[in-house]
Chains A and B, each alone.
Chain A
């Protein structure tokens, strides 16, 4: 039982990182209808940027994170103007392919710039082990959970209480109605992409603390898709629930089935959810009018 709780906590820690990445993903999908395949490689990019800022340029953690967020926000704006906006309104395949191409470009550029070796992120977070009632809990996990929780809270408050957040929610809900009520939807899209890329970077930075920084982080970022779908593609809280669930499933299957099967189990869950309840746990059932 204690072992189970330990795996559960690690799962929640990993899952909350997925949740953050998935949150950015789901935000973009809801507001713009773009299925951003590049979210995984953007997460990897965030981790590398933070690593460069701290390990190479010797910045302290806080300025490094701020710098990473600023760069990724700027990249989001650039991505919107250069790639997404000219293709807006095209078919699903076109947009998926555009983001796949972006993801290829980003990973290849990262490989050119940073090479294929694994880097150790100089994590300032102490990695102690607390023992609470026989359960060994890593402080790292707790801090990751705490930081992601705070991030989600900040974004939740931002959506709820700021004008921009309201406009974003309105655009996500019904973009035409939002435009008719005077929302500048182009500006909302720009902000959405900036925020989504910042979320990807935050996920990347957090992940860098618990694993090595390497190109394979992009593949881990792919797990944001199952997270979003399990939670519900059309639901923003669903992304959080789905992310945590996927993290927990992954850790539990690594512990109780086998390590190499952990990702496969996640995809099996994804497949079952897609076949049984395609709209996810919290999503709304899509009704299509012919």
Chain B
């Protein structure tokens, strides 16, 4: 069958492939893809053998989980413009789903994880209901309240069903593989992360994705142009919560013991920091932000080992207060990004890319 159709005497493109043919891109995308995949496959061996900058395999896996959370928050905050403080609750909800289905009822791992995500989506749509009435600050506060309430309920469930020590999750197995070490987990998580990214990217190019952005820019204008604002807001909440609950279930299985201290407002704030530092409304930005946020602590720990506790000023500070120092640095980075480069690391990366592409002519 021919791609070309003659309509009214002119050649019209009728599919995406024909559109792309206008801009020949050469072998570069394929080359990048191959190099990228090769790098991602190489990462676990690299990290395990040489621990670059003190980053261990567990840090990489936590970073991958954080990337999912940051993408989910970015879909809601960066693309749809809805401020929610409730994402720790959805992580907890995912862990709860995993406990209920995977641990108590013995449902297979992959079904458990997906069902936990769906539970997240359902609750997310419910939590999104206030967003139809409240906006901005009020929405932020109502989700903050919901966050505390949900974490309290999670604690009650944990104490009731599992006791104060927390919930223990078995090693999950999927396709005959038991995920009992960091390398296996890495491959599972990287597939999930890439899946999440592709899902989000494609979604944002669809009708709903454009409606998200329209609602963010002006929900009244979006409504006037025929977007069902209420449905779009609920969809954004459901999608974002699905991803976070999914990540929460994976997180619970990965860390294997979860208790009331595992989820807190700090995580939500951390996700916000990732999104802001990476760049609001940018998927790659969420990745940069999450990587920086989760890989900075091991780098600082390594730095503290390198300089030793006897180095002037910074030595004892690093030795005793690495985690606090990490927060201070991250807080300062967030402030600097907000003031100097509000579009975040993603915009810095893209402007570097631009200047390479236009090389002889770039400033």
Please give the residue numbers on chain A whose beta carbons come within 8 Å of chain B beta carbons, in ascending order.
35, 83, 86-87, 90, 92-94, 96-98, 100-102, 104-105, 107-109, 111-112, 225-226, 229, 233, 260-261, 263-264, 267-268, 270-271, 274-275, 278, 290
Contacts and interface: CB of A to CB of B under 8 A. Distances in A.
A138 B306 CA distance: 54
B276 to A, nearest CB: 5
Contacts of B339: 86-87
B121 interface: no
21 contacts: A87-B338, A92-B83, A96-B83, A96-B137, A96-B140, A97-B273, A101-B332, A101-B338, A104-B273, A105-B328, A105-B331, A107-B327, A109-B328, A111-B324, A261-B152, A267-B144, A270-B141, A270-B142, A274-B138, A274-B145, A278-B138
Contacts of B273: 97, 100-101, 104
Contacts of B141: 225-226, 229, 270, 274
Given A111-B324, A274-B138, A275-B142, A93 B77 contact: yes
Given A93-B83, A264-B152, A278 B134 contact: yes
A264 B149 contact: yes
B130 interface: yes
Contacts of B276: 97
A226 B145 contact: yes
Q: SS class of chain B's interface: helix, strand, loop or mixed?
A: helix
B179 interface: no
A112 B325 contact: yes
Interface in B60-114: 77, 83
A120 B21 CA distance: 73
A206 B77 CA distance: 37
A270 B145 contact: yes
A100 B142 CA distance: 17
A274 B142 CA distance: 7
B6 interface: no
B149 A268 contact: yes
A142 B235 CA distance: 51
Given A92-B137, A100-B273, 13 more contacts: A83-B335, A93-B280, A100-B269, A101-B273, A101-B332, A104-B334, A107-B327, A108-B331, A109-B328, A112-B324, A264-B148, A267-B146, A274-B134
Contacts of A98: 334-335, 338
Contacts of B194: none
B334 A112 contact: no
A201 to B, nearest CB: 21
Contacts of B149: 264, 267-268, 271
Nearest to B339: A86
B293 to A, nearest CB: 12
A268 B77 CA distance: 24
Contact of A275 (B130, B152, B327, B334): B130
A247 to B, nearest CB: 17
Contacts of A102: 331, 335
Given A101-B273, A274-B142, A233 B137 contact: yes
Interface string B212-242: 0000000010000000000000000000000
B331 A104 contact: yes
Contacts of A90: 338, 342
A20 to B, nearest CB: 20
The 9 closest A-B pairs by CB, nearest first: A108-B327, A105-B331, A267-B145, A101-B334, A104-B331, A108-B324, A101-B331, A271-B145, A264-B152
A137 to B, nearest CB: 31
